[in-house]
Amino acid sequence: MTVAAAIIGSGNIGTDLMFKIKRLSDVLHVAAMAGIDESSEGLARARRMGIGTTHEGVDGLLTMPEFGQVEIVFDATSAAAHRRNYDLVRQHGKTMVDLTPAAIGPYVVPPVNLDTHLAADNINMVTCGGQATVPIVAAVSAVTPVAYAEIVASIASKSAGPGTRANIDEFTETTSAAIETVGGAERGKAVIVLNPADPPLVMRDTVFCLVQEADQAAIRASVEAMVAEVQQYVPGYRLKQAVQYDAVEHAFVPSLGRPFQGTKVSVFLEVNGAGHYLPEYAGNLDIMTSAALRAAERLISKRAEEVAS
């Protein structure tokens, strides 16, 4: 028997998540989807799949008969909307998996810190850039302290819907904070680029880490091991080339507020989507929905373990 889930948000992310759960999960099933546009493609597809729907947002979801059976609620709306969604849903004892940059709950990046937050009633999946790059910062931090980490996430403009565009500021703030609190960097910075190229290019991410002690073999092994972990749930995630190392001689780093001498570690990534609903170039959306599904399934398995014990 699978556990019932609900999705708030019938846009690209919510719809892709619905398809992923349908195709990949033997733990969850989608019982309800809530949107605010009655004519949205996501709601139409949900209805054709036999899923209960409402176009009255979270308010409509709370009145649906299916909601009583739901244990996990995915929020694929916006940072602003999530605050109210969470306030309402938590009153019913449901666990929320937040795919917006609202960051009300703890930041969660599955291969780094998921098991630390399994008791939370709201976990935040950071951002697409965070899911792609924070594991790499954490991999470097596991070997040597990272004084500063900067990530640049480049995504196809066509894969950035209204929700993504409305959350650009929250993206940079949330990702920068996660680089520090989850990735382990002393200071972090995030940049997002909407690439207008046509045909669209897949998601590409660059991670720069400044470290004073660089055991190159150990860093490379840690990064490659982390990439393999992410690939378990995002098969299209990969290194574009070998980890690069460059000496830094007394360079002033504004974000640190002081000169730095050591080594710059550079990691170049590419993320192809699985094509379950969205095009393969939309790896930025695919890594978010994949991470959210991974986290929800682990939450469910942890509860089953507790009941069994």
Residue 159 labelled as part of a binding site: yes
> Is residue 113 within a helix (H) or strand (E), and if so which, with residue range?
helix 110-113
Using the predicted structure, report yes or no on whether residue 163 has a pLDDT greater than 90: no
Residue 124 labelled as part of a binding site: no
Residue 222 labelled as part of a binding site: no
Distance from C-alpha of 98 to C-alpha of 77, rounded to nearest angstrom: 9
Residue 273 labelled as part of a binding site: no
> What domains does the chain contain, in order, with CATH numbers?
3-125+287-308 (3.40.50.720), 128-279 (3.30.360.10)
- At residue 253, the pLDDT reads 87
Please name every residue paired with 263 in a beta bridge, in sequence order, or none if there are none.
211, 247
pLDDT band (50, 70, 90) for residue 307 = confident
Instruction: Single out the catalytic residue among 96, 128, 201, 230.
Output: 128
* Residue 267 burial (CB count, 10 A): 26
Residue 166 labelled as part of a binding site: yes
Residue 157 labelled as part of a binding site: no
Q: Report which of 138, 205, 146 is spatially closest to residue 178, judged by C-alpha positions.
A: 138
Residue 187 labelled as part of a binding site: no
Q: Which tens digits make up the pLDDT trace of 212-258? A: 999 999 999 999 999 999 999 999 999 999 999 999 998 888 888 88
CA-CA-CA-CA dihedral for 68, 82, 43, 15, to nearest 10: -110
* 125-153 average pLDDT score: 98
Return the residue matching tokens 């170049």: 268
Residue 57 labelled as part of a binding site: no
Q: Which tens digits make up the pLDDT trace of 59-93? A: 999 999 999 999 999 999 999 999 999 999 999 99
Residue 301 labelled as part of a binding site: no
Using the predicted structure, report yes or no on whether residue 145 has a pLDDT greater than 90: yes
Sign of the four-CA dihedral 282, 292, 210, 257: positive
Using the predicted structure, report yes or no on whether residue 309 has a pLDDT greater than 80: no
- At residue 78, the pLDDT reads 92
- Alpha-carbon distances of 120 from 135, 183, 247, rounded to whole Å: 21, 20, 42
Return the residue matching tokens 């170039």: 281
Residue 161 labelled as part of a binding site: yes
- Alpha-carbon distances of 80 from 98, 113, 162, 292, 293, rounded to whole Å: 12, 25, 13, 19, 22
How far apart are the two ends of the chain, measured CA to CA in Å? 19
**Packing angle of the helix pair 128-141, 216-231 (nearest 10 deg):** 140
Please calculate the CA angle 295-101-191 and round it to the nearest 5 degrees: 110
* 160-169 average pLDDT score: 83
Q: Report which of 234, 242, 22 is spatially closest to residue 135, judged by C-alpha positions.
A: 234
Active site residue 209: no
pLDDT band (50, 70, 90) for residue 1 = confident
Distance from C-alpha of 187 to C-alpha of 127, rounded to nearest angstrom: 18
